[in-house]
Chains A and B, each alone.
Chain A
């Protein structure tokens, strides 16, 4: 992907959980995991990792962070094999912010961070990092009295310790208010501009679109698509649509907006006479949007709203897997995460 040097390269990385196989616990059963994941992240870039619940996002991040030893494949950090670097050196490249850490206890953020600093064997002062994440006034608040937003900030401060080259953030926006989310996005952009490679996981595509440079879609432990948002959409044939609403005109057929355009009428909201979406396989460039606006206004229409609508995660997954959106939704709810087409079910080690 775009950016500087590749700082993280994954080739065909596979990891599966080992589950106890009662009544024979010594025979471990292979569970869900990630399968043959290829990924390359460059310094200074932000990669959004999206997928439904149980897709393997956290497992992938934990595998990169060294918390799971991968079964096969290769992980390279800063151009060197993870194994060659050795545990401590490899971990110095990585900062991990797990999902919703529920910091508890009577100690304070300052002490919690000091403890992590001691673990890292570094002489860093926690105060500076706590200031960076906006916790200057809460440095000595007992952890058990902190809001989830404050806990998220503390987790981020932990991830930033030692100025790692690669930052792995698992659902970092959870628990943050919109103002804090905007500040968080700015902070990530600043970090990326200073050369840090960032992977952010989320199940919210709209949220990702605001700040990522590239996107990786994970489903049932497999990388479904990977590239810039436009590339992913193009590859999956899921380009954004135009949502238009207004008054004083009756929408003609889709053909009047050009070849290859499909139109879908929607229910008009209060104060609107019409509302519809226009879709093109190649998406909409600025000029093409302008042409549509001119065509409507030229025919006497008054546009009250024009919005570019990104495809939903279900649409992307549906396009990638070939399954119907309903089936995808059903699958999200199920806990069968092993890619059936790739792996057998109920294998033993």
Chain B
């Protein structure tokens, strides 16, 4: 089978996988989350009368989008957990995995189709919610983000969903039962989404960085470095990089994009390697 035919097959399988997710009841929960967070966030944050924080200016649609990214980070990554926490373990438990692994298809291709399927299932409604979000921003601010800004916003969004998809499927391939699937899936999400700030503060204090003033330049620089080890942190840094003035990260663009490249490479390589050795 030539390369083109293989890629076509992977895409077809990804679509099968995504379609299954689209029709699952969990998708309804995801759509509700995205509507509430991304739609609601876009509408509320672009309200000219609203003041969220003194440090952040929301004068342009992109700045609003940047703040909406916090909601994307919360809802879309939770969506990946919702759809993907048992992506492999459920099939292993039901026996479907044995049938799939016994087929004459390269395991890497099969793993990629799972990954792309999950990514597609979360990214599609997220992209739609973001598109609706900019319409809501326009309704409030009477200004659109430029096409370039929207595309730039969507690239890190697509990437962060991809990173979480890799992490979730890797965790799911390790889990032997549903309980450990939930624990691993939700645990990883909680680590990066809810307790990373605490992790950063603990590491900073251990390394002698002053953590009594979280607005200090020293702490900000340190937290930017720690953020490179979190998918959420890299996502934020990528988006911050398009901001102007003091809101831009102090770290060089090359470091951020290198971290993004490594986050795209390492979890997916680990997942593919794990999938190759997977036993039903």
A-to-B contact residues, CB < 8 Å:
17, 62, 65-68, 87-92, 94, 96-107, 111, 114-116, 118-121, 155, 158-159, 162
Contact = CB atoms under 8 A, between A and B. Distances in A.
A106 B98 contact: no
B31 to A, nearest CB: 16
A100 B98 CA distance: 11
B51 to A, nearest CB: 45
B182 interface: no
B103 A103 contact: no
29 contacts: A62-B98, A62-B279, A62-B280, A65-B98, A66-B102, A68-B279, A87-B106, A91-B103, A100-B95, A101-B98, A101-B99, A102-B93, A102-B94, A102-B95, A106-B20, A107-B19, A107-B23, A111-B16, A115-B13, A116-B99, A116-B100, A118-B13, A118-B16, A119-B9, A119-B13, A119-B103, A120-B104, A121-B1, A121-B104
B29 interface: no
B: contact size bracket: 20 to 34
A154 to B, nearest CB: 10
A16 to B, nearest CB: 12
A103 B105 contact: no
Contacts of A66: 102
Contact of A89 (B95, B102, B104): B104
Interface in B1-57: 1, 5, 9, 12-13, 16, 19-20, 23-24
Interface in B80-106: 90, 93-96, 98-106
B280 A105 contact: no
B239 interface: no
A120 B23 contact: no
B16 A92 contact: no
Interface string B257-280: 000000000000000000000011
A92 B105 CA distance: 10
B229 to A, nearest CB: 23
A94 B95 contact: no
Interface of B: 1, 5, 9, 12-13, 16, 19-20, 23-24, 90, 93-96, 98-106, 110, 279-280
Contacts, number: 87
Contacts of A111: 16
Question: Closest 5 A-B residue pairs measured CB to CB?
Answer: A91-B104, A101-B95, A88-B104, A98-B98, A102-B94
Nearest to B5: A121
B23 A118 contact: no
A105 B21 CA distance: 9
A159 B98 CA distance: 11
A65 B280 CA distance: 11
A162 B104 CA distance: 10
Contacts of A116: 99-100, 103
A118 B95 contact: no
Contacts of B105: 88, 119-121
Contacts of B106: 87-88
Nearest to A99: B95
Given A67-B279, A118-B16, A119-B13, A96 B104 contact: no
A116 B13 CA distance: 9
Given A98-B280, A101-B96, A103-B96, A121 B9 contact: yes
Given A17-B279, A66-B102, A111-B16, 15 more contacts: A67-B98, A88-B106, A89-B104, A90-B104, A91-B102, A96-B98, A101-B94, A101-B98, A103-B94, A103-B96, A107-B23, A118-B12, A118-B16, A119-B105, A120-B105
Contacts of B96: 101, 103
A246 B12 CA distance: 67
B28 to A, nearest CB: 12
